[in-house]
Structure 1
Amino acid sequence: MNLNRRSFLAALTASAGAFSLSSRAFAQSPFIIPTYGGTWAKFWEETLVPGFAEATGIQGRLDVGLGKDFVSKIRAGGAASPYSVFMGNEHIAALLRAEGFFEPIDMAKVPNATKLHEGLLNPGNSGLRGIVSPIGIAYRTDMVETAPKSWTDLWDNPEFRGRIGLYQIGNAGALLFLRLTAKLYGSGDLDIDTAFTKLKELAPFTQASWSGEVSTSLMRGDIAIAPVDWTEILTLQDKGAPVEIVVPEEGVLAYEQSFNIVKSGASKDDAHAYINYLINADVQANMAKVFYTSPVNTESVVDGDLAKRLPIVGDKMSRIIRFDWDPYVDIAADVADRWNREIG
Structure 2
Amino acid sequence: MTRHLFNRRAVLGGAAAATGVALSGLPARASGDVIAAIYPGSWEEAFRSIVGPALTEASGVNLELDPLYAVDQIAKARAARGLAPFDVFVLDPGPAASGMEMGLYQPLDMSKLSNAAKLPQVFVDDFSIPVAAQVVGIAYNPTKVAKPAGWADLFKPEFASRLGLTGFQTTFGTTSLIEISKIFGGSETDVAPAMEKIKEILPQVAAVAQPSAMAGLFQQGQIDLMYTNTQTVATLKGRGVDIEFAVPETGAIAFVTTMHIVKDAENVENAYKYLDTVISAGVQDKLMQAPFNFIPVNGDVDLLDTLPMASLDEMNGFVRHDWTKINPLRPGWIEQFNREVAA
Same fold (TM over 0.5): yes
Aligned partner of 1:120 among 116, 119, 123: 123
2:97 is the counterpart of 1:94: yes
Equivalent in the alignment of 2:219: 219
Say which is worse superposed, 159-168 or 90-99, in terms of deviation: 159-168
Q: Matches of 1:49 and 1:141 in 2, distance apart?
A: 38
Change in CA separation of 1:167 and 1:319 when aligned onto 2, cut-off 3 Å: farther
2:202 is the counterpart of 1:203: yes
> SS state of the match for residue 131, structure 1?
strand
Equivalent in the alignment of 2:280: 280
> SS state of the match for residue 177, structure 2?
helix
What is the CA distance between 1:42 and its match in structure 2? 2.4
Equivalent in the alignment of 2:88: 85
Q: Deviations over 1:148-179 (max 9, x none)?
A: 12222213x32012321133322222211122
Equivalent in the alignment of 1:311: 308
Q: Matches of 2:317 and 2:294 in 1, distance apart?
A: 15
Q: Deviations over 1:236-255 (max 9, x none)?
A: 22232222222222222246
Q: Deviations over 1:159-209 (max 9, x none)?
A: 012321133322222211122223333353222333433443442442333
Amino acid at match of 2:182: K
Instruction: Decide whether the 8 Å contact of 1:134 with 1:252 is kept in 2.
Output: yes
Amino acid at match of 1:210: P
Equivalent in the alignment of 1:322: 320
| Residue pairs, 1:1-344, within 5 angstroms | 28=31, 30-122=33-125, 125-144=126-145, 146-155=146-155, 157-186=156-185, 188-204=187-203, 205=205, 206-211=207-212, 213-254=213-254, 256-290=256-290, 291-302=292-303, 307-314=304-311, 315-344=313-342
Amino acid at match of 1:165: G
Q: Matches of 1:120 and 1:198 in 2, distance apart?
A: 33
> SS state of the match for residue 328, structure 2?
helix
> SS state of the match for residue 282, structure 2?
helix
- Structure 2: gaps spanning 5 or more residues: 1-28
What is the CA distance between 1:52 and its match in structure 2? 1.0
Q: Matches of 1:313 and 1:285 in 2, distance apart?
A: 15
> SS state of the match for residue 237, structure 2?
helix
Q: Matches of 2:332 and 2:240 in 1, distance apart?
A: 42
Q: Matches of 1:190 and 1:126 in 2, distance apart?
A: 25
What is the CA distance between 1:313 and its match in structure 2? 4.4
What is the CA distance between 1:32 and its match in structure 2? 0.7
What is the CA distance between 1:276 and its match in structure 2? 2.1
**How many residues are matched?**
310
Instruction: Decide whether the 8 Å contact of 1:162 with 1:203 is kept in 2.
Output: no
Amino acid at match of 2:162: R
Q: Percent of aligned positions with the same letter in both sequences?
A: 29
What is the CA distance between 1:116 and its match in structure 2? 1.4
Instruction: Decide whether the 8 Å contact of 2:186 with 2:192 is kept in 1.
Output: no
Q: Matches of 1:181 and 1:167 in 2, distance apart?
A: 13
Change in CA separation of 1:202 and 1:42 when aligned onto 2, cut-off 3 Å: same
> SS state of the match for residue 152, structure 1?
helix
What is the CA distance between 1:82 and its match in structure 2? 0.9
Q: Matches of 2:49 and 2:293 in 1, distance apart?
A: 18
- Structure 1: gaps spanning 5 or more residues: 1-25
> SS state of the match for residue 292, structure 1?
coil
TM-score after normalising by structure 1:
0.81
Change in CA separation of 1:201 and 1:312 when aligned onto 2, cut-off 3 Å: farther
Q: Deviations over 1:268-310 (max 9, x none)?
A: 22222222221122221221113222221222223xxxx2212
